[in-house]
Structure 1
Amino acid sequence: MESSYSKDKEEDSEKALIRPKSDKTKKGRDMRRSSEALTFELVSRHFCMPINQAAKELNVGVTSLKLRCRELGIPRWPHRKVKILQTLIDDVQELEKDTEPVDGHRTRRVVEMLQQTKKLIEERPAMMLDKKTRQLRQACLREKSRRKKLMGHGAGDSSMEIGDEIRNDSAACRD
């Protein structure tokens, strides 16, 4: 009896080794072939979205996409870097509206520099953000936080102080 049990075990393990691995999904797509067909240009068009969504759009699994990215020299999915840069561009453009008469040319140059950095990240995803960009991001985050505090800091006293400051500034401009 022991010999038949061990023999069955051996046959099961052999069957497991012999069984062909299928890369086909329920719809009949060959996942291995489609992931090999992914080029850097095709993958880079999807850097603006999370990797799960990009995998769905490209009709491949997330793991297959990650493996193909490593083969293409993309160590990490750059969605967060791209998103950070786009948010920073939007923030600087919003600040440009407020400060256009004072330093409009300067903010336009910063926006152009950020757009160029975003383009470089899309071309070379392994590239890190430079120190100036990180400092600018921190400054924008501080400014957003400061504005949020001013807008939501108590309904009574702080709004009166802000209104008084605006009135005082406008009165000083008239004189």
Structure 2
Amino acid sequence: MAHSLTSLAIFQGVNHKEMIRSLHVYGSVEIEREFLFERKGRYVEKKAKPLFCSEGLQRPEISLGLVFGTWRCIFLFRSNHSLPQFPTLLCPSRNPKLVDIPNLANVLKFISELKPKKPYFDQPKQLDLVVKEDRVGYGEVDQAKPQRFALKQDLNRLPDSESESEESEDDQNEHSESDAKTEILKKRRTPSQHVAGLCLEDLSKYFGVPIVEASRKLNVGLTVLKKKCREFGIPRWPHRKIKSLDSLIHDLQEEAEKQQEKNKAAAMVVAKKQKKLEREMRNIVERPFMEIQIETKRFRQDNFKKRHRASRAKKNQESLATSSST
């Protein structure tokens, strides 16, 4: 089956480095696998729940360094591209523990034994751009520019003692003011232990409110909260998605109550759809990087059009009533 391999993407857990996921593509067939790379024990293959192949989940174009939820792509092979470089963790010749997981080891061995192709100049530049961004984001720090000191003393004349004393007093005042500002900033700044102790469960309690309000309730700054979201693989604060689903569920509840009196079969269909939306909302709270399903987006659009037509019809009736009364 390895000979029909179209592509292979391997992801590592952002928070748990020992967790590894792989996405094998054989033509139109996609297979997901999950592994546990224990440092002091054997490598184990675990039962993988579908994540990248989830129904209705919009998956972005996979590229090296891509962060998908709490997973980061560390290896990417495509049959029509040049051979990728193997990290030490996934190199069959350098990591003998890969023998414990043959479903991944055999595929990696097959790729490593392929002959390198000639450079393909027409391939998209997206991969290079992502790699460059990844290098900057992980490890490289902008070096501080060297400070330039200006000499205030005129070398063509002797130093003036009075001017020197005035300058020294000004410098002391500037230093004292800057020290006072830094002390105020330190007092205002949230303790690093509190920020480090925040987990995904703490954040999920406030997914239903805007991010500004959530930052106040969590007692952290907005920038710190956004940085924490990036650590957990949350590209956007899911307040809007949850609010949208909540309003749809509320509309379905009202519709179910109306249909209960007229048509029980229709009411059951509405109740079933309501449960599906509630389940989707719970999934987004648990996995906030997920997008709203395509079917739900269509239903939301139809519901908006329905409400818009109803409001227009109501306005027309009111205008006709006022015109007839006059």
Shift of 1:32: 2.7
Q: Is the 8 A contact 1:31 1:60 kept in 2?
A: no
Shift of 1:156: 5.0
Which 4+ residue blocks in structure 1 deviate beyond 6 angstroms? none
Are residue 43 (structure 1) and residue 191 (structure 2) matched?
A: no
The answer for the alignment partner of 2:217 in structure 1 is 57
Alignment of 1:59-74 (within 5 A): 59-74=219-234
In the alignment, which of 284, 300, 303 is matched to residue 137 of structure 1?
300
Give the Cα–Cα distance (whole angstroms) in 2 for the partners of residues 126 and 158 of structure 1: 50
Shift of 1:74: 1.2
In the alignment, which of 123, 130, 133 is matched to residue 286 of structure 2?
123
Cα offsets for 1:92-112 (capped at 9, x unmatched):
111222222320110000000
The answer for the alignment partner of 1:3 in structure 2 is 151
| Count of aligned pairs | 148
More strand by share: 2
Are residue 113 (structure 1) and residue 113 (structure 2) matched?
A: no
Give the Cα–Cα distance (whole angstroms) in 1 for the partners of residues 202 and 305 of structure 2: 37
Q: Is the 8 A contact 2:190 2:219 kept in 1?
A: no
Give the Cα–Cα distance (whole angstroms) in 1 for the partners of residues 203 and 212 of structure 2: 13
Structure 1 residue runs of 5 or longer lacking an equivalent are: 160-175
Cα offsets for 1:27-51 (capped at 9, x unmatched):
xx63432221111000001000000
Shift of 1:69: 1.0
Shift of 1:64: 0.4
| SS, match of residue 135 in structure 1 | helix
Give the Cα–Cα distance (whole angstroms) in 1 for the partners of residues 190 and 319 of structure 2: 64
The answer for the alignment partner of 2:248 in structure 1 is 88
CA RMSD of aligned residues (A): 2.9
Give 1 or 2 for the bigger CA radius of gyration.
2
Question: What letter corresponds to residue 233 of structure 2 in structure 1?
Answer: G
Give the Cα–Cα distance (whole angstroms) in 2 for the partners of residues 119 and 113 of structure 1: 10
78 and 25 in structure 1: CA distance in 2 versus 1, 3 angstrom threshold: farther
Q: Is the 8 A contact 1:150 1:158 kept in 2?
A: no
Shift of 1:157: 2.9
Give the Cα–Cα distance (whole angstroms) in 2 for the partners of residues 70 and 115 of structure 1: 26
Cα offsets for 1:132-157 (capped at 9, x unmatched):
10111011111111111122225253
TM-score under structure 2 normalisation? 0.41
96 and 139 in structure 1: CA distance in 2 versus 1, 3 angstrom threshold: same
More helix by share: 1
Q: Which moved more, 1:99-108 or 1:114-123?
A: 99-108
Q: Which moved more, 1:89-98 or 1:113-122?
A: 89-98
Cα offsets for 1:62-81 (capped at 9, x unmatched):
10001011111211100000
Question: What letter corresponds to residue 270 of structure 2 in structure 1?
Answer: T
66 and 31 in structure 1: CA distance in 2 versus 1, 3 angstrom threshold: farther
